[in-house]
Structure 1
Amino acid sequence: MSETMEAAAAANIAPGAARRRQILTKATSRPAILVGVGVILALLAAGFWLPLPYSPTAPDPSATSLPPSAAHWFGTDGDGFDVFSRTIASAGRDLPLAVIGTLVSLLVGVPLGLLVSTKGRWPERVMRGLDVFQAFPLVIIAIAIVTLTGNKLQNVILAVMIINVPRFMRLIRSEALAMRESRFIEAAWAAGATRYRVLVKHILPNVAGVTLAQSSLAAAQAIIVIAALSFLGVGVSPPNPSWGLMIQEGARQMTIGQWWVVAFPGLAVLLTVICFNLIADGLQLASESD
């Protein structure tokens, strides 16, 4: 009898694999998602494999502060770096940092969010602690983390993770708490399902859509944080290319009319953030539609 009731409860929701396939099918039919994913993958591929016309780490002192031309498509900066080469090479550094940091945040934040979705004093205390943590500006937190732990790439990923984990925890907890009052959850409890089974088999598959959408938004936020860290001198170290570092180096040249040094890496950051937001919007709509 218990197995029959649990089977009936499970029938009211899509199983985990089926639910993910359903969201994926709807997502791939949305042009905004396809455009966003296509641009992100193109930037990643270019950053890793596109043959660059000039070295992104070795400047040419004889070609400083040149405007865009046939020889230098995006111009050069005050040190003689080719802006096009460094903009493309930065995609191969900043995007992986953002994606890896977001994936780590997802793997840590989702299980913790499920754990604190139970009723009791300690989950409430954890959430109040997160409230205090999130009251501080994100960039200040990231700067403090990287400064204290050292100016290394793995510490940039750590900063991205620490910033985004509370967001995943809060999202999963709110979705799980709202879902606990659903009939299929009550039926699963009545059928004798364990807490682990309810969380993993019933709740987690039904929050997959909003979780994926939040992941894309977190990646967009990570791009901004990584650029801000490099701009402030505590992220990627020169002469390694980074969009934020290029903007910081070109800010001084804006005053003398050399706009191209800032414009192209700035547009790269803007384009990347827009694409991640397009993906997030599409995933959210795909998860909400019938």
Structure 2
Amino acid sequence: MRETFTAPRARLARGLIKQHPGAFVGVLFIALLLLASLVAPLPFDPTGTDSASSLVGPGGTHWFGTDGTGADVFSRVIDAARIDLSLALAGTVLSLLIGVPLGLAASTKGKGSERLVRGLDAFQAFPLLILALALVSVSGNKLYMVVVAIALINVPRYMRLLRSEVLSIRESRFVEAAIAMGASPRRLMVRHLLPNVWGVILVQTSLTIANAIVVIASLSFLGVGVSAPTPSWGGMIRDGAGNMSSGEWWIATFPGLAVLLCVLAFNQLADAIGDRTARTHR
């Protein structure tokens, strides 16, 4: 019995890896990065400084070089993953918990859903990134406000996506049959509509994490959110940008690559989930 269940799962895993190697590599990269940031011993103190070792290029001792204060860039890049990815995941979960119910509510018929959609349109008229920047700044760079800022930007995307998907599914025959059989609005939503949009929700969740990483890096680059001496990818890029002209390229390049690779990894995962969902519904 054990072989009966294990073999199909192994074949499915091999098939997914073969069809979407980029997603597999991306998930592996994120997992290793998180593992390294949480449990692996770092070669140097990420918040420590050493004026005698400032602006040392990448080499055997300092793999990614050092910054202007002598801090080890590799240790700071790895340690920054812990806070940046944690904030991105927390902001995505909050966006999911708020955006999905509101999107489902906006897809129902009635005056309440119309008012919700109009309120969404009015809310999206504001430049959300600037509004998030203002909120985090006013709060005194509290990290929980970074999570709120991510939700502020991404909740409208969940709402619009879910509303669009549910409205299209409502025209399906199986939904009409469920209504004809007397299914209540709650049962219709939970048993018939929500299971058919989970694939879309997962795709949007992967994209939201990628967007959240960019938002966190942008806020840190502008000097809000994660405050020094705590490492953050955006703050490291800001600190190293001024050294690019004098040849110290590594200070900003390696944290920039971390942001790029993480965003690429979650986008690849979103593509794989979307492709898998499309195959399932064929």
Query: Does the alignment reach a TM-score above 0.5?
Result: yes
Map 1:97-176 to 2 at 5 A. Answer: 97-176=87-166
Is 1:195–2:191 an aligned residue pair?
no
Map 1:8-157 to 2 at 5 A. Answer: 30-157=20-147
Counterpart contact for 2:128–2:152, Cα < 8 Å: no
Aligned residue pairs total 268
**Unaligned stretches of 5+ residues in structure 2:** 1-8
SS of 2:205's equivalent? Answer: helix
Q: What is the match of residue 234 of structure 1?
A: 224
What is the rounded CA distance, in whole Å, between the counterparts of 1:209 and 1:31 in structure 2? 20
Question: Quick one: percent identity of the two aligned structures?
Answer: 56
What is the rounded CA distance, in whole Å, between the counterparts of 2:26 and 2:117 in structure 1? 33
What is the rounded CA distance, in whole Å, between the counterparts of 2:84 and 2:71 in structure 1? 18
Q: What is the match of residue 185 of structure 1?
A: 175
Q: What is the match of residue 247 of structure 2?
A: 257
Q: Offset of 1:120 from its aligned partner?
A: 2.3
SS of 1:255's equivalent? Answer: helix
Q: What is the match of residue 16 of structure 1?
A: none
Q: Offset of 1:136 from its aligned partner?
A: 3.4
Q: Offset of 1:124 from its aligned partner?
A: 2.2
Q: What is the match of residue 221 of structure 1?
A: 211
Deviant stretches of 4+, over 3 Å: 24-30, 135-138
**Unaligned stretches of 5+ residues in structure 1:** 1-20
SS of 1:247's equivalent? Answer: helix
**For each residue in 1:127-153, what CA deviation from the matched residue of structure 2 results, as whole angstroms up to 9, or x when unmatched?**
222223223334212202212333111
Structure 2 residue identity aligned to 1:207 = V
Of residues 272, 280, 285, the one that matches 2:262 is 272
**For each residue in 1:186-209, what CA deviation from the matched residue of structure 2 results, as whole angstroms up to 9, or x when unmatched?**
000010000001111100000010
Counterpart contact for 1:139–1:228, Cα < 8 Å: no
What is the rounded CA distance, in whole Å, between the counterparts of 2:96 and 2:111 in structure 1? 25
SS of 1:62's equivalent? Answer: helix
What is the rounded CA distance, in whole Å, between the counterparts of 1:236 and 1:54 in structure 2? 20
Q: What is the match of residue 5 of structure 2?
A: none
What is the rounded CA distance, in whole Å, between the counterparts of 2:165 and 2:245 in structure 1? 49
Q: What is the match of residue 206 of structure 1?
A: 196
Larger displacement relative to structure 2 (106-115 or 190-199): 106-115
Cα RMSD (Å) = 1.7
Structure 1 residue identity aligned to 2:106 = V
Counterpart contact for 1:231–1:245, Cα < 8 Å: yes
Q: Offset of 1:111 from its aligned partner?
A: 1.1
Q: Offset of 1:86 from its aligned partner?
A: 0.2
TM-score, normalised to structure 1, is: 0.88
What is the rounded CA distance, in whole Å, between the counterparts of 2:244 and 2:144 in structure 1? 32
